[in-house]
Amino acid sequence: MIRVLLARLKQGYRTMAFPAEGLKLPHRALGLPKVRPAGLERAAAACPYGAISSAGLDMGRCVFCGACAKAAPAAVEFTREYRLCASSREGLMVSGTQHRRAEALGKELRSLFGRSLRLRQVSAGGCGACEADCNVLGTPAWDMGRFGVQFVASPRHADGMLVTGPVTKNMELALRKTYAAMPSPKVVIACGACAVSGGPYAGHEECPGLPPDIPVDLYIPGCPPHPLTILDGLLRLIGRLE
């Protein structure tokens, strides 16, 4: 044990500054897309999940594979911008270079959740990637707890539910029970392409998706979303960022 403590002391302060000026996604990561009309048909034909149409690029269906940008670089370009979250499903549609970023909860809810937000994470048939990036936020390098945001073990201790995965039939009842067990008022967050739109499983009979009677307050796109994107969305939701 003493060796662990000594190693930790030697490492020093490791928590990253957030938000920070000039903060971007790593070079290998794909962020907010820029969409132009020229060549958009070619980009749409290359997209494996139908995320591109004449209206633009739907980040809720996009898995950020980059196939569209390779097929039609004049039509789609992915930046390293990590701020991708939206408060509505329509807000994930990108046309040009702008999209509607997530907005904070109403004043009454912010007064309740502004200083602390406890979330119950539900993996509703996910592959583990979104779950892993959520777990990263609890490490010393990210330390989500410094903002008052933490994951809890029981829905009865939670202010909201963060859902990952396409919500399979086998997980729908568990999801509903978790939602019902949380005290009101409560928030729901759809994290990752699967939770937002079904992702690669959209339309499959075994993956009906989030029930329409469970309202979603925050949509976090990506496959999986980068921890920067998740943290940005959570802090915007409770009014800690503008």
Q: Where are the domains of the chain?
A: 107-237
Q: Residue 4: its pLDDT value, please? A: 83
What are the tokens at 236?
């915007």
DSSP 50-78: --EETTEEETTT-----HHHHH-TTTEEE
Give the separation between CA 168 and CA 171, rounded to whole angstroms: 5
- 159-171 pLDDT, tens digit each: 999 999 999 999 9
User: Which 3 state secondary structure label does DSSP give 151?
Assistant: strand
CATH architecture, range 107-237: 3-Layer(aba) Sandwich (3.40)
Q: Residue 107: its pLDDT value, please? A: 85
- 95-122 pLDDT, tens digit each: 887 778 899 888 888 888 877 899 999 9
Residues in the chain with pLDDT values less than 70: none
Q: Residue 93: its pLDDT value, please? A: 95
- The amino acid present at 173, given as its one-letter code, is L
- 193-214 pLDDT, tens digit each: 999 999 999 999 999 999 999 9
Q: Residue 11: its pLDDT value, please? A: 75
Q: Residue 108: its pLDDT value, please? A: 84
